[in-house]
Amino acid sequence: MIELKGPVIVTGTDTGVGKTIATAAIASRLMAEGRTVDVIKVAQTGDDDDAATVARLSGAPARALARYPDPLAPYTAARRAGAPLLKLTEVAEAALGSTADTVLLEGAGGLLVQIGEAGWTVRDLAVELGAPAVVVARAGLGTLNHTALTLEALSRRGVDAAVILGAWPHRPGLAETENLQDLPGDRLGWIPDGAGALEPEVFRLSATEWLDLDTNS
């Protein structure tokens, strides 16, 4: 089981897998155990406001370090906007400058999406910080391959990781049911589809049931 202390990367097997809701759930679970939590959205693209969603659902302070208008990879969106490229050292300093027990750093898209200057990725950020990673995966067909590839890419750089199923369907089919047994890696739990629509109080209480975190690490 990974340790959820200090900086922790939240990444995904792809875009739209539920990283933001998973980040809010982890923050809620840790705060229920008396931990202090700070959430950093590394780079926000498009019209969404993931930091605001995390703050609303969990009550944890959350902020985005960079925002770009186009719904693209951050590196591409910054280039198109003529904006300065985010530096890896800037993000690392923001994480290390926090006094919270745990700093959750939510990436953008999948693990190897280019974020900023020189094309660094959230895997590079994990290596820079010596931080573990939570990989948010889909429940359905295809997730075994995507999850295994993501975990292998992290392992090759010495990054410890665990997996959360980001949107468990209310009526799981054969693939989803079998994936519960076959999904690679250590499992931290699962989050039901539509959890982001819950009232914050309900979301925070439910997060203690969805996730099995070793909060005593």
Residue 215 has pLDDT above 60, yes or no: no
Rg value, the chain, Cα: 16
Q: According to the model, what pLDDT value does residue 214 have?
A: 61
Residue 80 neighbours by CB distance under 10 Å: 12
| Helices and strands, number each (H, E), in the chain | 8, 9
> Model confidence over 100-147: pLDDT tens digits?
999 999 999 999 999 999 999 999 999 999 999 999 999 999 999 999
From 61, 59, 63, select the one nearest 28 (Cα to Cα). 59
Q: What percent of the chain has pLDDT over 70?
A: 98
SS3 92: helix
Amino acid symbol at 205: L
Instruction: Report residue 1's pLDDT band, with 50, 70 and 90 as the boundaries.
Output: confident
pLDDT, the chain, mean: 96
Q: According to the model, what pLDDT value does residue 217 have?
A: 42
* Most distant pair of Cα atoms in the chain: their distance: 47
Beta pairing partners, 187: 163
Q: What is the mean pLDDT of residues 32-54?
A: 97
* pTM, entire model: 0.96
Q: What percent of the chain has pLDDT over 90?
A: 96
Task: Give catalytic residues, as residue numbers.
Answer: 41
Q: According to the model, what pLDDT value does residue 155 have?
A: 98
Show the CA angle centred on residue 133, arms to residues 132 and 138, nearest 5°. 160
- The domains of the chain, with CATH numbers, are 6-210 (3.40.50.300)
Instruction: Report residue 216's pLDDT band, with 50, 70 and 90 as the boundaries.
Output: very low
Q: According to the model, what pLDDT value does residue 76 have?
A: 98
From 34, 1, 41, select the one nearest 208 (Cα to Cα). 34
Residue 154 has pLDDT above 60, yes or no: yes
Residue 57 has pLDDT above 60, yes or no: yes
Residue 26 has pLDDT above 90, yes or no: yes
